Each structure stands twice: as C-alpha cells, then as structure tokens.
Structure 1
Amino acid sequence: MGIVDELLRWTREVFMPIGDVGLFILAFLESSVFPVPPDVLLIALALANPALALYYATIATIGSVLGGVAGYYIGLKGGRRVAKRIFSERMIERADNYFKEYGVWAVLIAAFSPIPYKVFTIASGIFRLSLKGFIIASIIGRGARFYAEGLLIMLWGEQILAFVDENLELISLAIAGAIISYLVLRKRLAREKKRRVG
C-alpha cells in the first residue's frame, strides 16, 4: 500500500466516525495545511446517506472557505518565508502568474479544479489579494465543486461514483478551462472596445 492510499485510509478512519464534524475539520485543514481533499469524506458520507448529500456539501463548503481564510492569513503574516516551507518555489511562482493574469478569478479556478487550493489560499495572503474578493471566489468555487458532487450522489448514488472517480480531474479541468477561456475572451473584448474608443 502506497503512502497516498495509507493517508486516505487514515483520513477515513479518523474523520468518518465523527461525521459532519469530521468533514468540517477536514475541509478546514485541507484549505491551508492538510494534503487530503474533503471530497474523499464528503462522497463517503453522502453515499451512506444520500438524503443528506447537500447538507454535507454545505458543511464542506463552509469548512473549506473558513480554512481558506486561515490560509490567507498564514500567507499575509508569514509571507514567502512560510510558503517556501510548505510549497516549492515553482508552485509559488505559478500562483503568482495566475494572479497576474486572472486576479481573483485564479482563486475560483483553484477552488473548483484539481489545482491544490491551499497554494492559492496562502498565496492570496502573500500577494495581498482583496480578502472580500477572495472569500467570494472561494464560496463560488468550493460551493460549485462540493454541491455538484453532493447533487450527483443524491440523484444517482453509487452509479455515478465510478464515472466521477474516473473523470473528476478531467471534468474539473474542462470547467476550469471554460472559465479561463471566458476570462481571456472578456479581456480581449475589453481591449478591443478600449482601442475603438481610444
């Protein structure tokens, strides 16, 4: 058994028995310091009780956004010095490039996609992104991700699980790509409009 499988097993054993409280704690920690995403527990809890799937999605969203705010303040107070202990310089530079290109939208993309969300929560503080914008983007991105999972399980249960398990990264990347395409198009149209007016 590899280290990833062992970590997933440990996560389920520790957090699953405490249900929604465990989900909240996991979602909070994953947004700033912990490597296992809350989706693992959200899906397990929702499958055990599909009627509560959207409730679990709400818990995961609240925990994740609050954990993201904690990550933001880690970055704000600790700066690059702290970030370098957690992430590689390459990851920090990549986050910086995303912020320069997309601003607060970079947080929304990371919140929904397979990109490690905690990199962007801490980087948001380092680069002093607007806290209000950060929170709004986090609520939209994390909420969309967790509610989509909860809704799919509530409607189709285990039937959808195999499909999501095999294609979650691809689906997330496709949606993130659509958001990026929209932003690029919007920026080009704004430039074209400005050029015509000028």
Structure 2
Amino acid sequence: MFVGYAIGYYAIEMAMPFIAKLGYADQFESISRRPRTDWPLLIAGFTPIPFKIFTLASGAVGMPLAPFRRAIGAASAYLVAGAIRLGGEKAEVALRRHIEPVGWIALVLFVGLIAWLWLRHQGA
C-alpha cells in the first residue's frame, strides 16, 4: 500500500503536464488544497475498484500518512472482520455471496454523495 502511495506522491509531477493538457489542472489543485479525510478510503475498501487506484490518488493529493495508514488498516481488515464478528457465520456466507453487489452499491452511493455535494456547492 505504501508503495502505491509513494508512486502517487512522487509521480504526480510527471503527470501534471498531461492533466493540464486535458484541462483538469485547476480541479486537481482545488482537490489538493482541501483537507484530507480518511472516509473515502474506508468506502473504497468495499468497492470493486482496485484499492491501488485509491492509494495512488492518496499519494498524488498528498494525504497525510497517519490518516492514510489508519484508513487502509480499517478498510482492508477491520470492517469486513467486524461485520463477520457481529454477524457470525451467516454474515461471512452472505459477504462471500454478495460482496460484489455490496461493493457496487457502496460505489454508487459514494459517487452520488460526491455529486450531491458538488451540485449543492454549485447552487450556493
């Protein structure tokens, strides 16, 4: 996980000309200036999108290492283990059977939340 973070952190300078050429440099700078929280990484642990994408992005925007480490630990082990511990064997069977749909639902909810926040900000 930390290798992906380091790649994102150090490789973003090489990617910035491409990002600027696509016209997204201002948006990237805006994201980089915002306070970083670990909740997107917690949600990412349940999505079907490879987690490495989120580790690269965390490094690229300069997320501090402490919240990053806390989030990857929680996302990769504690959330699923906690759900199994609370629900027992039935929860484990259900997670194994339905983890992909749950992941897609988490992703859709996350994107919906981001869209709602963006639209709310645009209207303000």
- C-alpha RMSD of matched pairs (Å): 3.3
Among all aligned residue pairs of Structure 1 and Structure 2, give the percentage whose two residues are the same amino acid: 24
Greater Cα radius of gyration, structure 1 or 2: 1
The amino acid that maps onto 1:110 is: A
Cα distance in 2, alignment partners of residues 119 and 161 from structure 1: 26
* Residue correspondence of structure 1 range 140-155 to structure 2 within 5 A: 140=71, 143-144=74-75, 146-155=77-86
Aligned length, in residue pairs: 103
Unmatched runs of 5 consecutive residues or more in structure 1: 1-30, 32-68, 81-95, 194-198
Superposition TM-score, scaled by structure 2 size = 0.60
The amino acid that maps onto 1:147 is: Y
Give the aligned partner of residue 13 of structure 1: none
Cα distance in 2, alignment partners of residues 73 and 192 from structure 1: 37
Give the aligned partner of residue 7 of structure 2: 74
The amino acid that maps onto 1:129 is: V
Shift of 1:141: 6.4
Cα distance in 2, alignment partners of residues 168 and 138 from structure 1: 23
Cα distance in 1, alignment partners of residues 68 and 57 from structure 2: 14
Cα distance in 2, alignment partners of residues 115 and 151 from structure 1: 21
Unmatched runs of 5 consecutive residues or more in structure 2: 13-23
The amino acid that maps onto 1:180 is: V
Give the aligned partner of residue 61 of structure 2: 129
* Residue correspondence of structure 1 range 22-33 to structure 2 within 5 A: 31=1
Cα distance in 1, alignment partners of residues 107 and 69 from structure 2: 14
